[in-house]
Chain A
């Protein structure tokens, strides 16, 4: 039986991993490292685990993952660098564009400056905390602007108070496509975009593989360094797919047998 280190926060522990823990019972010994309970001592570099999985993205979690990555040979999924890239929207957009993945136009501007494109969605710059997307939508004379309330709050006096906004060009799309990745295995879903219907699970349906999305998804996760991920795509009127979000800590309860697929993958990786 393998020993698995689960690096997590209280939120994910309470809400996201119950099924996974149930599945792993008898298959792995699980050591929990919970952000709110753990003293991270950078001189302690001895661990008994065969593999670690990271299921959160707070500062202590990321830096604990860094310690495992730098000081041990134990595999860690996902790597701290890939998690960091995922929650830094501007950085992953920049990287993905460089390798030829189609992402919407984007810009990082002081609050008073408009981006160099008309229809846009304002997102939080660092998607590191546990909260849901809360959009404010304005449509006037055919132009659409969407703002995420948390992005505005963070920029204008919340804890971050950085006075900058991240703008992503708005892509009108009938469907939002979601690709889950577990290693090289991909799972495809579509749903009505959350801006139209916030209850994303109501319209979500599993679909057959779309080869173009497979190619983009595999290219993107390889560039970012992810082993487990979910990617969101929108499709423009002329049929082009745009990668709009990349997530290092997806909710696998949403896919059929998700906890089993993840558990089996981790056991395989630990023994590899």
Chain B
């Protein structure tokens, strides 16, 4: 099969899945922002893997969708993972707890938020992981890079977890707050509530794989989902299956399933 991979990098996990798929006899082309032209030229592949959720890969995904070329994972769900407000609603619709969220211009936030409301986490509206994320302890920390409104999440004091899932296999680690997926994590004994919340998320959105950043509130002991991810690098995955092989197997199965439905 001819498979396209939409990825901001041509290294790391994208390179691993390319290599694996090629070893299985597929012809694989990797599209980064250097060589991605979003027009009819994309229609030559049988299907695409959406590794990255950068705006242009999402555009490419929507373009492919409308031309009935399968894109895995689902484009719209990937977009919703990338957009913090959409993520807020994804968490809510799945019946899970998330942080309280706010938007406003810096001056408005400075005036209307009370001292006792702090601390917050400032995050880019479109983003995933820890890029552009800032810890806000007081109104003096509030800054907008473009003069527009900023997005804030109430900081939840507690233990932070990174929870990966591939199919029904769940791996959870303890991590430091506000660090990305690649930072050092601590192995823990997984509790049933962490596994349940992860599988609930996976099953609610029919996801093949992904990850959640979860916080256990130290005051209530309740779990809050603070950042979902649709296609992690699995850089801290240390469980029984090999992530690139298992991810590719799931993707190929999903493609076959979509073909049968067609």
The reply on B103 being an interface residue by CB < 8 A is: yes
**Contact present for B125 and A94 (CB under 8 Å):** no
Binds B, one of A33-41, A145-153, A196-204, A240-248: A33-41
How far is B103's CA from A17's CA once the two chains are assembled, in angstroms? 25
**Contact present for B88 and A42 (CB under 8 Å):** yes
Tell me the B65-87 residues at the A interface (CB within 8 Å).
Answer: 66-67, 85
Contact of A91 among B37, B62, B104 (CB under 8 A): B62
Q: Inside 8 A of A63's CB, which chain B residues have their CB? A: 85, 103, 125
Contact of A90 among B38, B41, B67 (CB under 8 A): B38
Q: DSSP class of A's interface residues: helix, strand, loop or mixed? A: mixed
The reply on A108 being an interface residue by CB < 8 A is: yes
How far is B101's CA from A70's CA once the two chains are assembled, in angstroms? 15
How far is B62's CA from A90's CA once the two chains are assembled, in angstroms? 9
How far is B209's CA from A16's CA once the two chains are assembled, in angstroms? 48
The reply on B193 being an interface residue by CB < 8 A is: no
**Contact present for A58 and B149 (CB under 8 Å):** yes
Contact of A116 among B39, B56, B103 (CB under 8 A): B39
Q: Inside 8 A of B108's CB, which chain A residues have their CB? A: 36-39
Known: A36-B105, A66-B85. A109 touches B38 (CB 8 A): yes
Binds B, one of A133-141, A159-167, A187-195, A214-222: A159-167
* Count of chain A residues near B, Cβ 8 A: 35
Q: Inside 8 A of B100's CB, which chain A residues have their CB? A: 41-43
The reply on B146 being an interface residue by CB < 8 A is: yes
**Contact present for B88 and A94 (CB under 8 Å):** no
Query: Closest Cβ of chain A: how far from B54's Cβ, in Å?
Result: 9
How far is B106's CA from A90's CA once the two chains are assembled, in angstroms? 31
Contact of B112 among A39, A58, A70 (CB under 8 A): A39
What bracket does the count of chain B residues touching chain A fall in? 20 to 34
The reply on A113 being an interface residue by CB < 8 A is: yes
Q: Inside 8 A of B13's CB, which chain A residues have their CB? A: none
Q: Which of A42, A64, A108 has the most CB of B within 10 A?
A: A42
The reply on B25 being an interface residue by CB < 8 A is: no
Q: Inside 8 A of B62's CB, which chain A residues have their CB? A: 90-91, 94
**Contact present for B38 and A60 (CB under 8 Å):** no
The reply on B148 being an interface residue by CB < 8 A is: yes
How far is B113's CA from A106's CA once the two chains are assembled, in angstroms? 45
**Contact present for B38 and A107 (CB under 8 Å):** yes
Q: Inside 8 A of B38's CB, which chain A residues have their CB? A: 90, 107-109
The reply on B89 being an interface residue by CB < 8 A is: yes
**Contact present for A60 and B59 (CB under 8 Å):** no
Q: Inside 8 A of A35's CB, which chain B residues have their CB? A: 105, 149
Seen from chain A, the residues whose Cβ lies within 8 Å of a Cβ on chain B are: 35-43, 58-60, 63-64, 66, 70, 88, 90-91, 94-95, 97-98, 106-110, 113, 115-116, 159, 162-164
